[in-house]
Amino acid sequence: MTRLRRIAHLDMDAFFASVELQRLPQLQGLPVVIGGGKRRIDEMLRERHADLPLHEIPVDAFPRLKDYVGRGVITTATYPARQFGVGSAMGMMKAALLCPQAIVLPVDFEEIRKFSYAFKETIREIAPQVEDRGVDEVYIDFTDVPGGQREGGRVLARLIQKSIFERTGLTCSIGVAPNKLIAKMASEFNKPNGISIVYDDDLQAKIWPLAVRKINGIGPKAEAKLHALEIRTIGELAARPAEELIAQFGRAYGAWMHEAAWGRDERPVVTESEPVSMSRETTFERDLHAARDRAELSAIFTDLCERLAADLARKGYVGRTIGIKLRYDDFQIATRDMTIEHYTADAKTIRQAAGQCLKRVDLSRRLRLLGVRVGKLARAQDVADTSPRAETAAPAAPDTTSGSATALTLDLFPDTQDIPPAAPG
């Protein structure tokens, strides 16, 4: 019997929130959002309810979204919160207008990593061909796994769902299809805790009625342009000649759009891959200005560079392209980067190169976010074997000749007299 190619996309259901509910079962069934500032909730609750374990602390003791003040965004929300229009990447203050009664909790990254590892290991014990796509989603090649062909993959999907729930107490949604492109769409069909099976001949009935934005790779700008061309569904996209799409979107992207609309995707499930870049960024609690808040920005800048250097050293990578990312108070984004001569994972080197990039952006406007990135990565050991001059040291300690780590970065922001003052307001 011919074995059909069966690729699954597994997405954990409201993962960040679900992890919290494992520790705080009294919040089950309530609107809860995860995001915002630093994690001090546990400490605060323990101080006020020292005689109770976390899972017995009364619901009324938890902070509400209506009282949140800050610049954070929502990482995820429980399904009861989503019924009010609250969703991922939404600003917390905006969400507070939609669902003021929601309980708000910050992200517990240690718990997230623990549960992420657990559910992925559970999958690999059943189906070893797994492509990691982040903390809460993976692709799985079902094709040659026992049960991967039965009912189009439903039997194997049920086994994986059951095994993950038994090990973690968490649910997931799975889409199984001929390829990764359609599998990712299918995993959204029956959330939460659903399984969706799509075959080749289901394209017109199940995929073409969907909005073009459902294709992973079509973002808001491309969607707006497609709408201007009176293309709103995947079926309408498939009806347009490839030449027309190429003329509008360029040869590579236009051709890919045409193939995607017809459900064609030959990408394999990749079990091992090297990161292209690593980055660290932070959104400020209030807008900062390079002149008025120079010391604070410099301290944040130093911290980002040192944390990024620590990430590189811990994971065994070095890089040559160093860049920065700014988001202004009007949400416009500016990025700059430069490529240095030698590979590095050194905090001071990253700081100096990123500082040069800062000199190439407009610092007269208020800043909402600052980020630092290192790209063109290579394994530190590989570089050390071929290039003895590569800078592969661990993050450098503060340069004592400068007085402090912060002082090192003060020079990387232009002198205050070179920066126009912030506009009033």
Query: What whole-number distance in Å separates Cα of residue 186 and Cα of residue 32?
Result: 26
Rounded Cα distance, 423 and 420, in Å: 9
Tell me the Ramachandran region of residue 230: left when phi exceeds 0, alpha when psi lies from -120 to 50, beta otherwise.
left
Q: Considering the candidates 20, 137, 306, 391, report the single residue annotated as catalytic.
A: 137
Element of type H or E holding 295:
helix 294-315
Dihedral angle computed from the Cα positions of residues 222, 228, 231 and 234, in that order, rounded to the nearest 10 degrees: 20
CB distance 170 to 15 below 8 Å = yes
Q: Angle formed by the axes of helices 242-249 and 251-261, to 10°? A: 140
CA distance 156 to 56: 37
Phi, psi of 73 (to 5 degrees): -120, 160
* Number of other residues whose CB lies within 10 A of the CB of residue 413: 21
Cα distance between residue 274 and residue 267, in whole Å: 16
- What DSSP string describes 371-403? EEEEES-EEHHHHHHH-TT-B-PPPPPP-GGGS
Rg (CA), the chain: 24
Does residue 137 have an active-site annotation?
Answer: yes
The conformation of residue 283, written as its DSSP 8-state character, comes to E
Return the structure tokens found at 154: 């439903």
Sign of CA dihedral 215, 219, 220, 221: negative
- State the amino acid at position 120 in one-letter form: K
In sequence order, the 6+-apart residues with CB closer than 8 A to the CB of 110 are none
Q: Directed axis angle between helix 220-228 and helix 242-249, to 10°? A: 120
- Indicate the burial class of 205 (C-beta count within 10 angstroms; 0-12, 13-18, 19 or more): exposed
List, by residue number, the catalytic residues.
137
